[in-house]
């Protein structure tokens, strides 16, 4: 479906085609970016559920849709359909709505939306109220501007009726309606009640890009003031009268069960209130969290082994390799015609590790279960799923569950899961008081819903000109989509996320075969969405391999990519810009310093990253500089784009350098930031972000930088050392010049970690 131009007239009959049906998600599901804009949009006008939502919100004088509230005093409140977890979407949504409504960012107050798929369902994610996949702007761009325009024109109509003038003779600025010929003015509050009684316009005309006053301007975030003064309330900040705290321990083995628990020492600690048990977990309740944690440490726990008692990472990798060789493969992209006979064959295999999310705010939920009712306070990317699961556990109707939203102290996909809420509800059912359940950092990392482990086999045949005459890529992994939303799998069982940025290459090649083999993960090892989802893994493999082909062909990596791209393509545009800004091919670099390039088109955007890195004789990687060029279509807030690209790149570089979840005896070996660490401030390079401006519809941003980071890094390492890394994270042993050098740096690292 083609995007509508920004000044198109929008007909009232164009409604949301993706709805909840009988409690289940409609099968239409567009996670992938390559499918363009949303097939259907959110509803910008009144819906059946609006009246109840407005009543619960204090019966504002004017509530034209699910997103805008104008009170009698003229105050404007915007109800956010997405959740804020640091990606600045509250600011972006405010700008989209305010642009067409005719108010300034300083005139609005943002509010968390209540759980409602009907009102706040994301069309790109099957119509569920979900924040993820860099879809918020892409899926809401048209509808939220339309929502602002509907409200503005209805308010103008009310003012025009009061003055008995033509509405087209009126203008709106900063919440004030002006009759231009006479100079008369009315604030929104003065006409809000009358506007609420008027029929809504059948069509509205949205602004053209040249007329934007907010969109495209660098704006301060609407949530920054409260974050600076400590007023922002995250899920972990919830306070409920009579609340007590619980610290939790779940079976270390991922499929183990709780055996015997000796509670004697824990109950002897002053302040400890109770010890609660589930099939696979135990919690100690106390008057504060630290006492609860102390009580938890005092428990003598015996765990019952499960089916994963002997499971380790290398066994999983061996299983993936066997499945890759002999498992049934689904075709994600078929070649067009026959490849040219002969040529130079280049083959490689890659391993991408399991990854944890490790958000700064550990998982938590506060729950109060009373007869026939359950109330929850938490930060979640899936509020309606929390309602569904709490209702199931408590045996009550969904409308008896209340979820109070909060800001999220990081999500990265982890809060697309409801397991922490489910566990908290199960514990809270056992007591009569509100219970705040907090996972320790160790519990958070060791019981994550990890990114899948991937094994890739990829090959290409090069013709006399060095260009590929054939390309074959077989991906083997578990499936997140198959568990999280089975109805969204292809009719043949294909997981579209598993092949994104592998099947849709930025290069002009005809004979491309992309396959996926589904690997059945062991019980208890549950895989989940991780920031950047499928493209994070696929871009590492594809862009690393393109670099291998350039080397095999004896070509410069930049020039080789240029030769494979369509002239004038957006991907070529960002690559040329990044190369220009870093000075690719200019002044010679010092010894053991290299630059690596990677380009891709994930989440509806186009991005190129170039990393400049030094590899010491001891094998340590020092990041010197990163240049990123981004084409995300119309930019809502340039400041947010820059911040998200910088943060995403650093997140991805941290993972590539240091992160990997490994198993031993069925348990996660990593536990905290000492062995699952991020880049430290002294390791962070300068990250330049350069944008290409155009009139294309907005693409995603939140995950783009993460997805492109790893291949740019490993290509830089190859340029510096001649060592090709096909398995992440970066292994010190592979890069050290000698065993003695490796021993010295390992000793140094050990001392640093002890200090940390």
Of the given ranges (14-28, 227-241, 481-495), which has the lowest mean pLDDT? 14-28
Contact (CB, 8 A) for 500 and 536: no
What tens digit of pLDDT does each residue of 333-392 get?
A: 999 877 777 899 999 999 999 999 999 999 999 999 999 999 999 999 999 999 999 999
pLDDT attached to residue 28: 33
Residue 752 predicted with pLDDT over 80: no
477's tokens: 């992994």
CA distance 645 to 656: 16
Amino acid 678: pLDDT: 96
Share the mean pLDDT of the chain. Answer: 91
In this predicted structure, the answer to whether residue 741 has a pLDDT above a threshold of 80 is no
Distance CA 657, CA 652 (A): 9
Under the banding of pLDDT at 50, 70 and 90, the label for residue 583 is very high
What pLDDT score does 294 carry?
98
Residue 157: C-alpha distances to residues 13, 170, 177 (Å): 21, 9, 10
Which of these, 82, 26, 700, lies nearest to 380 by C-alpha position?
Answer: 82
DSSP 8-state class, residue 62: B
pLDDT at 12 over 80: no
Q: What angle do CA 603, 607, 610 make, to 5 degrees?
A: 140
Residue-level pLDDT at 748: 44
CA distances from 137 to 134, 201, 223, 377, 605 (A): 8, 24, 18, 26, 12
For residue 40, the model assigns a pLDDT of 42
Domain range 235-306+373-438, CATH class:
alpha beta
> What is the structure's pLDDT at 57?
87
Decide: 272 and 299 in contact? Cβ < 8 Å: no
Share of the chain above pLDDT 90, in %: 87
**Start-end ranges of CATH 3.30.365.10 in the chain?**
9-227, 235-306+373-438, 454-755
Place of tokens 């010092």: 590
Q: 9-227 has which fold?
A: Aldehyde Oxidoreductase; domain 4 (3.30.365)
Residue from 271, 251, 273, 269 nearest 261 by CA: 251
Interaxial angle between packed helices 419-428 and 383-394, expressed in degrees from 0 to 180 and rounded to the nearest 10: 30
Check residue 743 and give its pLDDT.
Answer: 56
Look at residue 47 in the predicted model and tell me its pLDDT.
87
**Structure confidence at residue 732 (pLDDT):** 84
Q: Please tell me the pTM assigned to this model.
A: 0.91
Q: Under DSSP, is residue 585 helix (H, G, I), strand (E, B) or coil?
A: coil
Rama region for 547: left / alpha / beta (φ>0; ψ in -120 to 50; rest): alpha
Name the fold adopted by 454-755.
Aldehyde Oxidoreductase; domain 4 (3.30.365)
pLDDT on residue 494: 98
CB 524 within 8 A of CB 666: yes
Among residues 327, 353, 96, 310, the alpha carbon closest in space to that of 213 is found at 96
Phi and psi based region of residue 199 (left: phi greater than 0; alpha: psi -120 to 50; beta: remaining): beta
């Amino acid at each position: 479906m083609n995007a509508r131009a920004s000044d198109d007239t929008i007909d009232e009959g164009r409604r949301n085609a993706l709805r909840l049906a009988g409690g289940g998600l409609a099968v239409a599901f567009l996670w992938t970016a390559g499918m363009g804009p949303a097939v259907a949009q959110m509803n910008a006008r009144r819906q059946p559920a609006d009246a109840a939502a407005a009543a619960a919100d204090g019966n504002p004088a004017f509530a034209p849709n699910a997103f805008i509230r104008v009170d009698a005093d003229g105050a404007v409140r915007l109800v956010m359909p997405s959740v804020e977890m640091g990606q600045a979407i509250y600011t972006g949504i405010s700008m989209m709505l305010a642009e067409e409504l005719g108010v300034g960012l300083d005139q609005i107050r943002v509010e968390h939306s209540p759980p409602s798929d009907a009102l706040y369902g994301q069309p790109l994610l099957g119509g569920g109220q979900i924040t993820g996949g860099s879809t918020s702007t892409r899926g809401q761009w048209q509808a939220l501007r339309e929502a602002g325009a509907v409200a503005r024109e209805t308010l103008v109509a009310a003012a025009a009726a009061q003055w008995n003038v033509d509405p087209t003779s009126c203008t709106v600025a900063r919440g004030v309606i002006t009759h231009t010929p006479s100079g008369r003015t009315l604030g929104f509050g003065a006409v809000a009640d009358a506007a609420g009684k008027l029929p809504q316009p059948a069509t509205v005309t949205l602004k053209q890009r040249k007329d934007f006053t907010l969109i495209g301007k660098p704006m301060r975030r609407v949530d920054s003031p409260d974050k600076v003064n400590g007023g922002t309330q995250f899920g972990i900040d919830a306070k409920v009268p009579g609340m007590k705290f619980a610290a939790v321990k779940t079976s270390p083995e991922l499929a183990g069960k709780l055996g015997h628990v000796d509670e004697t020492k824990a109950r002897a600690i002053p302040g400890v209130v109770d010890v609660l048990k589930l099939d696979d977990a135990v919690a100690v309740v106390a008057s504060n969290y630290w006492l609860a944690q102390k009580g938890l440490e005092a428990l003598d726990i015996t765990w019952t082994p499960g089916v994963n008692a002997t499971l380790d990472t290398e066994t999983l990798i061996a299983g993936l390799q066997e499945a890759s060789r002999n498992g049934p493969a689904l075709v994600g992209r078929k070649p067009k015609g026959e490849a040219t006979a002969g040529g130079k064959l280049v083959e490689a295999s890659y391993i991408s590790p399991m990854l944890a999310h490790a958000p700064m705010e550990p998982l938590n939920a506060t729950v109060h279960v009373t007869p026939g009712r359950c109330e929850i306070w938490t930060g979640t990317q899936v509020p309606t799923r929390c309602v569904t699961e709490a209702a199931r556990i408590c045996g009550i109707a969904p409308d008896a569950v209340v979820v109070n939203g909060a800001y999220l102290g990081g999500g990265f996909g982890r809060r697309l899961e409801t397991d922490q809420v489910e566990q908290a509800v199960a514990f809270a059912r056992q007591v009569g008081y509100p219970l705040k359940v907090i996972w320790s950092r160790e519990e958070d990392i060791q019981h994550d819903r990890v990114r899948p482990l991937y094994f890739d086999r990829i090959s290409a045949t090069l013709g006399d000109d060095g260009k590929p005459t054939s390309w074959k890529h077989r991906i083997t992994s578990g499936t997140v989509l198959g568990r999280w939303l089975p109805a969204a799998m292809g009719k043949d069982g294909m997981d579209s996320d598993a092949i994104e940025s592998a099947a849709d290459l930025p290069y002009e090649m005809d004979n491309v075969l992309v396959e996926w083999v589904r690997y059945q993960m062991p019980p208890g090892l549950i895989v989940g969405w991780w920031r950047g989802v499928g493209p994070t893994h696929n871009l590492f493999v594809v862009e690393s391999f393109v670099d291998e082909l350039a080397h095999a062909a004896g070509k410069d990596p930049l020039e080789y990519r240029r030769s494979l791209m369509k002239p004038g393509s957006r991907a070529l545009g960002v690559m040329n810009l990044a190369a220009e800004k870093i000075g690719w091919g200019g002044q010679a670099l010092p010894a053991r310093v290299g630059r690596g390039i990677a380009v891709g088109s994930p989440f509806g955007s186009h991005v190129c990253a170039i990393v400049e890195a030094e590899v010491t004789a001891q094998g340590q990687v020092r990041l010197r500089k990163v240049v990123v060029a981004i084409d995300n279509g119309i930019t809502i807030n340039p400041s947010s784009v820059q911040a998200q690209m910088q943060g995403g790149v650093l997140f991805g570089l941290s993972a590539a350098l240091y992160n990997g979840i490994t198993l031993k005896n069925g348990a996660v070996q990593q536990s905290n930031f000492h062995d699952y660490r991020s880049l430290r401030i002294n390791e962070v390079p300068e990250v330049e972000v350069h944008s290409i401006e155009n009139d294309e519809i907005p693409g995603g941003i939140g995950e783009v930088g993460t997805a492109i980071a790893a291949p740019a890094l490993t290509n830089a390492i190859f340029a510096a050392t001649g060592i090709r890394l096909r398995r992440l994270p970066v292994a010190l042993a592979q890069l050290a010049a000698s065993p003695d050098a490796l021993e010295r740096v390992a000793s140094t690292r050990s001392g640093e970690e002890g200090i940390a």
